[in-house]
Amino acid sequence: MDIRGLGYIGIDVTDVEEWRTYGERLGMMEAGDDTGLRLRIDERPFRVLVGASEGHDGLAFAGWELPDARSLECAATELAAAGITTETATTNECNERCVRGLIRVKDPDGVALELFHGPILDHEPFVSPTGVSGFVAGAHGMGHIVLASPNLAQSVAFYTEVLGFRLSDYWRPGDDDVVFLHCNQRHHSLALVPADEPALYHFMLEACTLDDVGYTLDRHHEANVPISMSLGKHTNDQMVSFYSRSPSGFDVEFGCGGLLIDESTWTVTQITKPSFWGHRQPE
């Protein structure tokens, strides 16, 4: 299956107004809120769709991008052959996501996935409200998500054997692996962490420069936005980042300098700590 990247995510939040302020603080551009608050980081109509929810804060869906209609048809056929139920979105539902075609499927943990093709672009120039110089997206997708997975082995099998993700590396902090997966040159677009309940741990946005990260970190301090983990550098994707606590309780990793991998020479390794330095929890 030809998944090319994490196109977008939808999140359920109990306080959309807090997210309006929070999204701006991360340098994201608000682009209307007819079908949910749309937050942009590039030419796409949104990368994060913030939806109002009565009692749930977390991931609503993850949108994975395929290159064209033909590959989406092939994906539907492959999913059917694997005995996995899919649902085809109506024209209206596609319009809401600003895409030309979309099928829905659930992963083994019940996470709602949207496989889509044909994003409909927003040619209004992206201008960061806080002056972030730009975000690394394009062929690398919007960033990555890290999910808590109660059915880790089944989930890894689903993402690699059915959806075609490739292993990047493992981390084994206890008895079980944390598994990092890629679907383009970005070191990981998805990581799965063994846990009792499914959850979104964090999503990651990659800014273009270290200064973007530094200024954004300063804005957090000035506005007293809680920091979950201090500035640090990851061992596997070499991202220099900090973790911001969102109004919804899960984190947003804000970083720069993420590793791009070369599929032709990559071999899977196991890391023994997640960060070279930093990424400390506050006292």
Taking Cα atoms as reference points, which of 61, 64, 60, 49 lies closest to residue 6?
64
Nearer to Fe ion, 117 or 182 (CB): 182
Nearer to Fe ion, 102 or 205 (CB): 205
Nearer to Fe ion, 204 or 227 (CB): 204
For the segment 89-108, give every residue that binds Fe ion (CB under 5 A).
none
CB of 240 to Fe ion, least distance (A): 12
Instruction: State how beta strands 48-52 and 37-40 pair.
Output: antiparallel
Backbone angle region of 156, left / alpha / beta, with phi > 0 → left and psi within -120 to 50 → alpha: alpha
In whole angstroms, give the CA distance from residue 67 to residue 136. 19
Instruction: State how beta strands 190-194 and 144-149 pair.
Output: parallel
Token digits of residue 122: 């927003």
What is the size of the binding site for Fe ion (CB under 5 A)? 2
Q: What does the DSSP assignment read for 204-216? A: EEEBSSHHHHHHH
CB of 241 to Fe ion, least distance (A): 7
Task: Select from 50-58, 147-155, 205-213, 252-260 the region that touches Fe ion (CB under 5 A).
Answer: 252-260
CB of 253 to Fe ion, least distance (A): 4
Instruction: Indicate the length of the chain as a whole number.
Output: 283
Task: Select from 29-37, 42-50, 198-206, 220-228 the region that touches Fe ion (CB under 5 A).
Answer: 198-206
- In the list 29, 204, 207, 225, the residue contacting Fe ion (rule: CB under 5 A) is 204
Taking Cα atoms as reference points, which of 255, 226, 254 lies closest to residue 240?
255
Residue 217 three-state SS: helix
CB of 273 to Fe ion, least distance (A): 14
- In the list 216, 253, 254, 257, the residue contacting Fe ion (rule: CB under 5 A) is 253
CB of 188 to Fe ion, least distance (A): 8
CB of 233 to Fe ion, least distance (A): 12
Task: Select from 85-93, 102-110, 193-201, 249-257 the region that touches Fe ion (CB under 5 A).
Answer: 249-257
What letter represents residue 281's amino acid?
Q
Task: Select from 14-22, 52-60, 152-160, 199-207 the region that touches Fe ion (CB under 5 A).
Answer: 199-207
Residue 261 three-state SS: coil
81 phi/psi in degrees, rounded to 5: -65, -30
Q: Which residues bind Fe ion (CB under 5 A)?
A: 204, 253
